[in-house]
Chains A and B, each alone.
Chain A
Amino acid sequence: MRTTDETTPVPDVPDPALGEYTAMGAVALTDAERWPTLDADGLARVDAWRGRPDAPVWVHATGDRLDASDLAALEQVRVRPAGGPAEPAWVAELVARVHDTVPRWRRAAREGRSGPTTPLHDLPTTTRADLADAAAHVPLDVPLDRVLEGSSSGHTGAALNVPLHPVSVAADLVLLQHLVTAAGADWQPDPDRLGLVNLVDQRASFTYVSAMTAFGRPSDAPVPVMARVNLDPSVWRAAGDRERFLSAADPQVISSSTLPLLRLLDLTRDGLDLHPVAVVNGATDLPPAVRDAAAAAWGCPVIDLYGLRETGPVAASADGDGHVVVPRRVWVEILDDAGRAVPDGERGEVVVTVDENPYLPLLRYRTGDTAALVRDHRGTVLVGLQGRAPVRFLAADGSWHSSIDATQLLQAYGLAGWELVQAADGTVRLTALPLVGVTVDPAAAGDAIARWLDRPVRVEVVTDPSALGPGKPRRFRSDAQEDS
């Protein structure tokens, strides 16, 4: 396999603390283990995309890990109908199951706070902070031999380490295929193109080529290939490689988030000619202007997928008019600040009960995002979804930088939480909450931010998480303007 060109200097990681992003620093498997069912032709096509002279320096190699029984399980997911307005039966079954198998709920049962027959609406909610103790939420009876480490992106908050299962990760592809097809697009395997590109635009990122063995297709059709690609110029070997590679790949589906999409639209205006059958936005709000620009640039459906790493996909919007809850084992409630259900049509916090990831069934997970819930012919719809705003910071040289870069840095320097604020005049303040039990120097985190933005950073250290404020940790804010 060829994943990096030995003769080409590998770009340095952008900060000494980001060593995990050293090229191929996190690989462990063989290609046969990455795609247990992939044939020689499929492997050859993966290698061909990896080895293109205009390919970026791949930072990682990873696959989908799906064996034949996983693929059979995913076929069941493919035919799952959308849920109705009433609480589905699986919710009560999940409540009963977790009280028997999940440490957090076993404890609640031992202490008499809740039990297997407690109605969902009488259970306490689960917060992101609760998941810092991941083991308390992982069922005792699920074998751990397939667990994967999933980090949340940190687009809008602190990153979190979420245990994932290969089948639940691949279920995202099954859902995307359903959503893209439902939006009217024709997504058929095309061996000459990438079936999907997952596009990011950040200083450091795991990038790779993979085969999508879970892609639903006729038995004689080739397995489509996908790639995770970083638009940041520093990861490409030569000027023009980025455009040449993307043009050759002409990905059928572009799966990304708002800021990389904006960058891609810039490249398109500069002449990059792509023909996606659909664009999928995730992680951050998709402003109407960006949706319209993408639709105009490529003339294809633009789907905004709402979900969290902890929950997986929750709802999707193909037309910008509300997010329809997706056909998965996901049940959405809208609660007020006191945790009480609000009537349909009233805004409140989106709270999700989900039973998709075998390692992380969640009861009443508070997303920190808000919406109103309506039920119409499309199903259960989240209207006016808010809370995923991407944040950009302005460097001294006038360039804009995504909060994802900051998340990576602050995490690498051992902070458990933070608030990074840029004032309208450009000055930067970091409130740092160090990880308990870890010797860290918050000043070093401040220095890293200072190098990143080339601006001085005022650092304040706190030891109490509540000092960061209530509700969702809105840990990034930038009031900087173009002329700050």
Chain B
Amino acid sequence: MERRPDDLERVRGGEPDGPALATLVHRLALAPPDLFEPSVSVSALVADVAVSLDGTVLDRRVLRALDADLTGPADQGLHRAPLVGLVCWLVLDPAVLGAPGVRAAAAGGRTAWFVRIVEGVQRVLAGQRPDREWVQDDVAREELARAFCRLGGVLPAGERAETSDDRWLAVSSAYQRKVAQSMAVEVARAEELARALAEQRAKEAAAQYANY
């Protein structure tokens, strides 16, 4: 079955021995404030990182698609740019690229691996939190760090797939929102059922043919 690491389904797997979660979280805390400036061209940054990773020059089609993602539609684009910038910041950490799990996950080409994360992080995290929370808030940093690992197909160093999955769901804003919405629907339904059963027409019941 095709793995879909960018959605909210559980993903049991990923290359073991990815970067340590603490490393990622710590690096996010040190991210340069420039990454949140609208004047920064994140597309250009992505292109530079690709070259530095394995000498790949991203073709015009990829960059045009990235530009389109990061500039429109209005609000969403603005929130995507800082996330992509932060992914670039993480990827440039030698401790990340040097992790055995990352080497295995990126065996088919570092840039291809990197671009998958760039694309995925926009889908999974854009708009989930105020931009600066991704570096300022402990839980937000962990959410981004774990999303980075999932999208990159690696498990944080020392974690088993099941543990990693549970911890991701515990910090995922989208998942927690989905759970809250789901529970709200269930609570409303329970109240509706109680009202329906309390109605006299429910209490009149129906004729019984057998005994239980």
Query: Which residues of A are interface residues toward B (Cβ below 8 A)?
Result: 26-29, 60-65, 103, 106, 110, 112, 134-136, 138, 140, 144-145, 147-150, 152-153, 155, 161, 163-164, 166, 169-170, 172-173, 176, 196, 198, 200, 206, 208, 210, 212, 226, 228, 255-257, 280, 282-283, 305, 307-309, 312-313
Contact = CB atoms under 8 A, between A and B. Distances in A.
Interface in B4-53: 10
Contacts of B205: 26, 62, 148-150, 164, 206
Contacts of A169: 206-209
B185 interface: yes
27 contacts: A26-B203, A27-B204, A28-B200, A61-B204, A64-B207, A103-B189, A110-B179, A112-B10, A112-B165, A136-B186, A138-B193, A144-B192, A144-B196, A147-B202, A148-B204, A149-B203, A163-B193, A169-B206, A170-B206, A170-B209, A172-B208, A172-B210, A198-B211, A200-B211, A226-B207, A255-B210, A312-B212
Contacts of A256: 211
The 3 A-B residue pairs with the shortest CB-CB distance in the complex, in nearest-first order: A135-B190, A210-B207, A28-B200
Contact of A226 (B185, B199, B209): B209
Contacts, number: 122
A147 B165 CA distance: 39
A contact patch SS: mixed
B74 interface: no
Given A106-B182, A140-B185, A173-B209, A28 B203 contact: yes
Contact of B189 (A63, A138, A148, A172): A138
B107 interface: no
B206 A166 contact: yes
Contacts of B182: 106, 110
Contacts of A280: 210
Nearest to A281: B211
B contact patch SS: helix
A153 B200 contact: no
B212 A63 contact: no
Interface string B150-168: 0000000000000001100
A309 B211 CA distance: 8
Nearest to B10: A112
Contacts of A61: 204
A106 B206 CA distance: 30
A145 B196 contact: yes
B207 A112 contact: no
A459 B211 CA distance: 30
Contacts of A255: 209-211
A227 B212 CA distance: 17
Size category, B interface: 20 to 34
Contacts of B199: 28
A282 B212 CA distance: 6
Contacts of B10: 112
A103 B186 contact: yes
A231 to B, nearest CB: 13
B208 A198 contact: yes
A135 B209 contact: no
Interface in B167-196: 169, 179, 182, 185-186, 189-190, 192-194, 196
Given A164-B206, A228-B207, A307-B212, A26 B193 contact: no
A312 B212 CA distance: 8
A309 B212 contact: yes
Given A112-B166, A161-B197, A26 B204 contact: yes
Max count, chain A CB within 10 A of own CB: residue among B186, B192, B212: B212
Nearest to A102: B186
A166 B202 CA distance: 10
B60 interface: no
A135 B201 CA distance: 19
Nearest to B191: A135
B206 A28 contact: no
B204 A147 contact: no
Contacts of B179: 110
Nearest to A167: B206
A144 B189 CA distance: 9
Nearest to A211: B207
A150 B196 CA distance: 13
A256 B205 CA distance: 19
B193 A147 contact: yes
B163 to A, nearest CB: 11
Given A27-B204, A61-B204, A176-B209, 11 more contacts: A28-B203, A138-B193, A144-B193, A147-B193, A155-B212, A164-B205, A176-B210, A198-B207, A198-B211, A282-B212, A307-B212
Contacts of B197: 147, 149, 161, 163
A206 B208 CA distance: 10
B212 A308 contact: yes
B212 A28 contact: no
B4 to A, nearest CB: 14
Contact of B193 (A63, A65, A134, A200): A134
Contacts of B192: 144
A200 B210 CA distance: 11
A379 to B, nearest CB: 20
A198 to B, nearest CB: 6
Nearest to B8: A110
